[in-house]
Amino acid sequence: MGQRVRREARVEGVVQGVGFRPFVHTLARRLGLAGHVGNDADGVFLAVEGSSEGVARFLDALKAEAPPLAVIDRIEVTEVPPLGAARFDILPSPPGGVANTLVSADSATCADCLRELADPGDRRYRYPFVNCTNCGPRFTIVRGVPYDRPRTTMAGFALCRDCAREYADPADRRFHAQPVCCPACGPRLRLGTAEGDDALRVAVRLLGEGRVLAVKGLGGYHLAVAAASEPAAAALRSRKHREDKPFAIMVPDLAVAGDLCEVDPVAERLLTGRRRPIVLLPRRRAAPVAPSVAPGNRMLGVLLPYTPLHHLLLTDFAAPIVLTSANVSDEPIVFRDDEARDRLSGIADAFLTHDRPIHVRTDDSVARTFRGRAQLQRRSRGYAPEPVVVGQDFRRHVLACGAELKNTFCLAKGRHAFLSHHIGDLENYETLRSFTEGIEHFGRLFDIAPEIVAHDLHPEYLSTKYALDLAESGTVEPVGVQHHHAHIAACLADNAESGPVLGVAFDGTGYGTDHTIWGGEFLLADLAGFRRVGHLEPVRMPGGTAAVRQPWRMAAAYLGATDDTGDLDVVRRHAREWPAVVSMAASGVNAPLTSSAGRLFDAVAALLGVRDTTNYEGQAAIELEQLADPAVRGGYPAGISAADPVTVSGADLVKSVVDDLRAGRAVDVVAARFHNGVAEAIRGVCARLREATGVGTVALSGGVFQNVLLLDRTVDLLEGRGFRVLTHSRVPTNDGGVSLGQAVVAANTTGPVRQ
């Protein structure tokens, strides 16, 4: 026996409502230690006393063996003299609960609950709402804080005696599990007049008959059809008015995911982990998936069941199903029962639903892997509202309102940036309501009263208007953050760095400080400011937003008055409108200037016959990436000016594309050479900027870098030249990450940004 010692410790992070106190209790008893553990406003506090070896082992295990839903930010240990304590106690929470606690994200059904679900002898056998301290709904059912049952959507379900006993027993897996329930006391499944297992049986039969099923999930309604059935997938697509956007597929297990797609080890961890995003995976050639599921796409979005209901449905149906957010076109996911019946009646043939209300609509998250790391493209269910921990403190409370498309907002204090769930495109009333209600909800949950409100510079964004309205009240200081600076700052925060870096922000649209539309930007940036040190040469967008929906207009803008374009297919396809669009670009009337990289990709996509009009944002560029042959090396040259800021000629790339097309080169080769050319131009500009500034770290951000071919080539080329390259992982590279960037910039800026 070593010397007797006592240590007090504070544990911060997501440590309440996740079984942390019982875990500490069990661990201390196993090691023969005395002491206590309790919750307070900052997390968990504890004391352990006993042999020095035992205490050392306890402190090692505290983080290493923490319960699955715990996210530990910080453990602070203090040495104190032993008190001669003899037992270990769990201290009750203070009356009225504890404010300021972190709410955990919704979590996939754990292995213990799955065993109960499949065990005919268990009282929760085939119960679609089984959950415990280690799994189940959280964020989507929380109405307020402190987090306890009366402040969740489980408030209306009184615990039966058996559930109450489990809830009160520190040795039970369901000790203080707020959503605990069972068939005797919990929510019920329903389909029409059928309940429980009968409802499931009908659902499975309907799927087998090729019907469209609305299924109430964790964060909203989904629409489901058999993934192998072309008539079913086609019917869903036409009823949903979703012409081309790929549907996600839920598969019964990992083995089936492997039948459909190539699954690398990082993807495997994402698929089977507790957060369960949709994972974008390279599809196998012979994958038995109906063509209408993901038309013309080399990738499939795949996810594994994450609720007990999904597990039952997939086990019984025993084949992959399409599982796509229930909404019409670009509206947000439907989550209220009455709303579901109204809006989905023309789409779904039947509703598999239940009586546990959803408080916050939350879409599925979307991830992919890149060089052994996960990359989130949409950070929502399973991640929100857990904070992104940043490198330095927010000294004042910050609200960042995000961008217009793929909106998220962010509330921040301390070292925590509470990035919201995916709100969506802020262009209709429903989304705007989610946005404003979401901000209020987060403010209450995390006890944040903003002193600073950060916003985009675009005066017409609804998020900007919201921020400026809020600032009108006089108590909140507005800080405008340039869109691409926010992207680069988000990438810095994502990597817990502060710069300076050479930021490459490539996306579709962002309001520039010169009031033109930016989107192909090189910024010398840190968290406090930036200088625009390079960009793509601006071109006209004939027809403004019409050019976003019709990429062929960008081809016209790039080719401009070049004579003899009549032989090009894209010109022939639009022979009637072409001259007018070209002269619109030449005159500049209704044709704003843009340095957007997204629009350059659009122009090339149209030239290669990939797409003349788009049905969703970024579609042309996504399909251009699909077309490119990754085996092709070598890229087209682009002129780089010696001016300050440096400019890159997109027109040079377009000209090479045209030359190769005329030479009869295969389009997959041309598409690849274009990608490689863009990557080489980025390397060329960064090399020149490094000479001028001495900065050797590059941060890549913006929606264009969702293009993995481009990202891969760019990182290769930059690293080959000795650059250190930062890319996104924890937050999206697209506009979903902008609010985080705004928040850290605002925190590092004393007044409004004026560049």
Instruction: List residues near Zn ion by CB under 5 A.
Output: 110, 113, 132, 134-135, 160, 163, 182, 184-185
Give the residue with the Cβ less far from Zn ion, 67 or 639.
67
Q: Which residues contact 422 (CB under 8 A, 6 or more apart)?
A: 362, 363, 365, 378, 379, 380, 384, 406, 407, 408, 736
Phi, psi values for residue 230, rounded to 5°:
-65, -45
Quote the least distance from Cβ 62 to Zn ion, whole Å.
Answer: 22
- Contact yes or no for 276/366 (Cβ under 8 A): no
Give the residue with the Cβ less far from Zn ion, 158 or 692.
158
Quote the least distance from Cβ 13 to Zn ion, whole Å.
Answer: 20
Distance between CA 545 and CA 529 in Å, rounded?
A: 29
* DSSP designation for 424: B
Give the residue with the Cβ less far from Zn ion, 185 or 468.
185
Quote the least distance from Cβ 617 to Zn ion, whole Å.
Answer: 38
Outline where 78-195 has alpha helix (H). Answer: 111-117, 161-168
Give the residue with the Cβ less far from Zn ion, 185 or 546.
185
Instruction: For the beta carbon of residue 307, count every other beta carbon within 10 angstroms.
Output: 23
Q: Which residues contact 244 (CB under 8 A, 6 or more apart)?
A: 295, 296, 615, 616, 619
Quote the least distance from Cβ 157 to Zn ion, whole Å.
Answer: 8
Q: Which residues contact 313 (CB under 8 A, 6 or more apart)?
A: 200, 203, 204, 215, 224, 305, 321, 352
- Which residue has tokens 């000790």? 175
Give the residue with the Cβ less far from Zn ion, 110 or 321.
110
Quote the least distance from Cβ 69 to Zn ion, whole Å.
Answer: 10
* DSSP designation for 283: B
Give the residue with the Cβ less far from Zn ion, 135 or 624.
135
Name the 3-class secondary structure at 453. strand
Distance between CA 631 and CA 593 in Å, rounded?
A: 35
Give the residue with the Cβ less far from Zn ion, 134 or 482.
134
- Residue 393 has which token pair? 């403190």
Distance between CA 494 and CA 357 in Å, rounded?
A: 33
Across 64-158, the runs of DSSP E, i.e. the strands, are 71-80, 88-90
Quote the least distance from Cβ 302 to Zn ion, whole Å.
Answer: 23
Give the residue with the Cβ less far from Zn ion, 182 or 726.
182
Phi, psi values for residue 242, rounded to 5°:
-115, 95
Distance between CA 403 and CA 154 in Å, rounded?
A: 34
Q: Which residues contact 736 (CB under 8 A, 6 or more apart)?
A: 377, 378, 379, 406, 407, 408, 422
Give the residue with the Cβ less far from Zn ion, 148 or 526.
148
Quote the least distance from Cβ 70 to Zn ion, whole Å.
Answer: 14
Quote the least distance from Cβ 98 to Zn ion, whole Å.
Answer: 23
Strand partners, 412: 398, 417
Quote the least distance from Cβ 165 to Zn ion, whole Å.
Answer: 10
Quote the least distance from Cβ 136 to Zn ion, whole Å.
Answer: 6
Give the residue with the Cβ less far from Zn ion, 117 or 260.
117
Give the residue with the Cβ less far from Zn ion, 117 or 525.
117
Distance between CA 408 and CA 286 in Å, rounded?
A: 37
Quote the least distance from Cβ 81 to Zn ion, whole Å.
Answer: 40
**Residue whose C-alpha is closest to residue 16's, from 64, 71, 61:** 71
Quote the least distance from Cβ 276 to Zn ion, whole Å.
Answer: 14
The dihedral over CA atoms of 104, 107, 111, 116, expressed in degrees to the nearest 10, equals 100
Give the residue with the Cβ less far from Zn ion, 128 or 736.
128
- Residue 308 has which token pair? 């007990």
